[in-house]
Amino acid sequence: MASSQLMADYRQWLTFQRQEQLSREHQGISQRLEDARASANQVLQAYRSMAEKASNEGACYRTLFLRERDNASLPCEGWLFVRRVLSEGNSTRVRVTLLETFTLEDGIIAPGDKPARKLTLEIYDKLDINKGMHTQARVDCLDTTQDYHFITLLDAVRGDLRPYLK
């Protein structure tokens, strides 16, 4: 086997390893949020805090989200810059800029290799009747139905990504 093919296979294997790691991480965090019974109001307060830090310090937060591809949901990774939180009545929307850092198709994406996307996320309580009328806080993208179930981590913050957000 040629060394270039061997290296290509190795890089592909690393990409699949990373995909599996993100799958376990997203599932684990999602389960912990469900067990903690986090409400949409609590998630909203977290996003307001992120928006304040983004405005004052240029903070971006690591986020994991699911993307629907060929009838399969695969986790992706990125960094969110929370621009604004809009609450009107029972509807809460969050304007963000997303820098993707990992997808299965692209593998690891360095900041600036792929343009940032401006998105609108919606925060709401999802009712799950399969679990006895249990509610779960959800954050889904309104701009595209393929991206949903965003989980943004408050303890993973970067302040050096502002140049890549345009």
Label residue 70 by pLDDT band (50, 70, 90): confident
> Mean per-residue pLDDT for 71-82?
95
DSSP the chain: --HHHHHHHHHHHHHHHHHHHHHHHHHHHHHHHHHHT--HHHHHHHHHHHHHHHHHH--EEEEEEEEEETTEEEEEEEEEEEEEEEEETTEEEEEEEEEEEEETTTEE--TTSS--EEEEEEEEEEEEGGGSSEEEEEEEESS-TTEEEEEEEEEEEESS-GGG--
Amino acid letter, residue 115 = P
pLDDT, position 86:
94
Q: pLDDT tens across 14-55, in order?
A: 999 999 999 999 999 999 988 888 888 999 999 999 999 999
pTM greater than 0.85 (yes/no): yes
- Render pLDDT for 115-141 as a digit per residue (tens, 0 to 9): 999 999 999 988 777 766 667 889 999
**Average pLDDT of the segment spanning 60-87:** 95
Q: What's the average model confidence in pLDDT over 131-155?
A: 88
What pLDDT, on a 0 to 100 scale, did the predictor assign at position 133?
Answer: 67
Q: What is the pLDDT of residue 132?
A: 66
Per-residue pLDDT of 12-25, as tens digits, reads 999 999 999 999 99
Q: Cα dihedral angle (17, 19, 25, 28), rounded to 10 degrees?
A: -100
Domain with 41 in it: 3-164
CA–CA gap between residue 42 and residue 49 (Å, rounded): 11
Range with lowest mean pLDDT among 22-26, 35-39, 103-107, 160-164? 35-39
What does the pLDDT read at residue 156? Answer: 94
Domain count, the chain: 1
